[in-house]
Amino acid sequence: MEMSVKFNSWFKTRVTFLEGVLKAFLTEYYIEQPIL
């Protein structure tokens, strides 16, 4: 049980980190695409 709790918090931080990277990448991409 304790293991799954640790995994859940690790997973949440990973997902949050990936979301931040993805949003930054998309923002950069759209800034360089004035057509869209």
**What pLDDT score does 11 carry?**
92
> What are the tens digits of pLDDT across the range 5-34?
998 999 999 999 999 999 999 998 888 776
- Residue 15's pLDDT is 94
**Predicted confidence band of residue 2 (pLDDT cuts 50, 70, 90):** confident
Spell out the domain ranges in the chain: 1-36
Does residue 1 surpass a pLDDT of 90? Answer: no
| Per-residue model confidence (pLDDT) at position 34 | 67
Measured between alpha carbons, how far is 29 from 5 in angstroms, rounded to an integer? Answer: 36
Contact 9, 15 (CB under 8 A): no
